[in-house]
């Protein structure tokens, strides 16, 4: 059930050791939460954090599917909305 990087953790342990669990999550550890002898959830680190440089690259050149297309200038679009 739990792999090498996962640790089983009861709901009670999660409540009592929450600061420690958060610290271990930040270091990449995964947890399986157990309630009444059954696994109910998987806790894992939030992996989609981007480095600031990556975020700047994303906003400097967004993917084509996110780019705004218009024949009007930005100034004209704002004036039209007012």
CA distance 15 to 65: 43
Q: Which one has a higher pLDDT value, 1 or 76?
A: 76
Q: Which one has a higher pLDDT value, 48 or 13?
A: 13
Ramachandran assignment for 27, one of left (phi > 0), alpha (psi -120 to 50 degrees), beta (any other)? alpha
Q: 31-50, pLDDT tens digit by residue?
A: 999 999 999 999 988 764 55
Question: Percentage of the chain surpassing pLDDT 70?
Answer: 84
CA distance 32 to 37: 11
pLDDT value, residue 50: 52
Over its C-alpha atoms, the chain yields an Rg (Å, rounded) of: 22
Q: Taking a C-beta distance cutoff of 8 angstroms, is the pair 52, 14 a contact? A: no
Longest dimension (CA), the chain: 63
């Amino acid at each position: 059930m739990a792999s090498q990087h996962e640790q089983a953790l009861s709901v009670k342990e999660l409540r009592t050791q929450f600061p420690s669990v958060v610290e271990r999550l930040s270091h990449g550890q995964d947890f399986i939460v157990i309630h009444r002898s059954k696994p109910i959830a998987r806790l894992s680190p939030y992996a989609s954090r981007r480095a600031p440089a990556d975020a700047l690259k994303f906003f400097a050149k967004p993917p084509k599917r996110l780019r705004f297309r218009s024949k009007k200038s930005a100034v004209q679009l704002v004036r039209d909305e007012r």
